[in-house]
Amino acid sequence: MRAALGAILGVMLLALAPAHAAERRLALVIGNSAYSFGALDNPKNDAALMAKALKGVGFEVTELIDADQKTMKKAMLDFGRSLRDSDSVGLFYYAGHGVQVDGENYLVPVDANIRDEADVAVEAVAATELLKTMQRAASRINIAIFDACRNNPFASTTRGGTRGLARIDAPAGTIIAYATAPGDVALDGQGGNSPYATALAKNMAADGLTVEEVFKRARREVKTETRALEGELTKASKHVREMVDEAMKGSLDKLLKPTRRAIDESRVRLDRLEKKIERMGRPAPARRAAARTRAAKPKRAAARA
């Protein structure tokens, strides 16, 4: 058992090395962007990038862009039939929307009409369906790459839908790679490609790397870029908060200005009233004396004049 496992692992690690003369390398690459709901910019570009990278390491590539459900399923069946060769290597790459419902992962065609979770199994393509097709082909090694779950556009309608894709137990002789950890959402990317597709294509082209090294390097580079992006978003959100605070402060000042003016006017009136009350509260002799003083002031002023 241990010897058999070692042999399988050795095959996996050498899968992207230069092809043997009798070895046939086949790849099915799908990139879905043009959804009527939640359209994505980069999957079609990612599929083109991956197709180019795979051709560069000796794969025969079938490339589908913006595939509907029937086209995806037919392509998977044809792919499985082509892999029925004991010395063949199969690789599947999918970029686009993916959704997890009750622990099952689904790849979403561009024509899917999903109103709630009950529609998902009918309108989408189960990832396990693809893996079973590849396993039945009994090819030497199978690799499935899911650069999917770039947000769940059905989150509000799929109660059983969970953030990210679920972890799948890989069939014997199969490597499964995800753009992000199970339960997380992959980035579509700010440029022309997703961070994962960019890193994967770059490392596939590097000489002397095993499959394991290709995926590990790609994941490290994605994490580095993601951390940098999170830093930029933090700075941006701080700047936005400062702008909002400043705008709110200005609005508040404008809102309170009439109130402050009214308060100031009330204070003046209150001061006058307090002085009047103070005068009225003096004893009668004091009031008469104050009155005589006020009356004498104009006379003295006239005498001086």
Chain segment 31-57, per-residue pLDDT in tens: 999 998 888 888 999 999 999 999 999
What is the model's pLDDT at position 230?
47
pTM value? 0.66
Q: What is the mean pLDDT of residues 158-180?
A: 68
Cα distance between residue 291 and residue 285, in whole Å: 10
What is the model's pLDDT at position 34?
93
Evaluate whether 162 touches 110 at the Cβ level (below 8 Å): no
Q: What is the mean pLDDT of residues 225-254?
A: 54
Q: Which helix (H) or strand (E) holds 184?
A: none
What is the model's pLDDT at position 90?
94
Q: Extract the tokens encoding 132.
A: 């079973």
At a CB cut-off of 8 Å and minimum separation 6, what does 44 contact? Answer: 31, 32, 33, 34, 65, 66, 95
What is the model's pLDDT at position 205?
86
Q: What is the mean pLDDT of the chain?
A: 75
What is the model's pLDDT at position 37?
83
Q: CB neighbours (10 Å) of residue 180?
A: 22
Going from the C-alpha of 98 to that of each of 19, 135, 152, 174, 180, the distances in angstroms are 32, 21, 7, 20, 12
Q: What is the mean pLDDT of residues 168-190?
A: 67
Q: How confident is the model at residue 295 (pLDDT cuts 50, 70, 90)?
A: low
β-bridge pairing 104-107 and 161-162? unpaired
CATH architecture of 2-209: 3-Layer(aba) Sandwich (3.40)
More confident residue, 28 or 289: 28
More confident residue, 60 or 235: 60
Backbone φ and ψ for 40, nearest 5 degrees, come out as -120, 145
Cα distance between residue 92 and residue 134, in whole Å: 9
| 26 pLDDT above the threshold of 90 | yes
What is the model's pLDDT at position 58?
93
The span from the first CA to the last CA of the chain, in angstroms, equals 127
Strand partners, 60: 26
Q: What is the mean pLDDT of residues 132-137?
A: 88
Three-state secondary-structure class, residue 36: coil
Q: Lowest mean pLDDT: which of 84-88, 106-110, 133-137?
A: 84-88
Cα distance between residue 181 and residue 163, in whole Å: 11
Q: Lowest mean pLDDT: which of 72-86, 114-128, 196-210, 289-303?
A: 289-303
More confident residue, 215 or 86: 215
Q: What is the mean pLDDT of residues 103-117?
A: 90
Closest CA to 106 of 85, 86, 121: 121
What is the model's pLDDT at position 241?
54
What is the model's pLDDT at position 173?
79
Cα distance between residue 80 and residue 78, in whole Å: 5
Strand arrangement of the beta sheet that strand 141-147 belongs to: 60-65, 24-31, 88-95, 141-147, 174-178
- Where exactly are the structural domains of the chain? 2-209
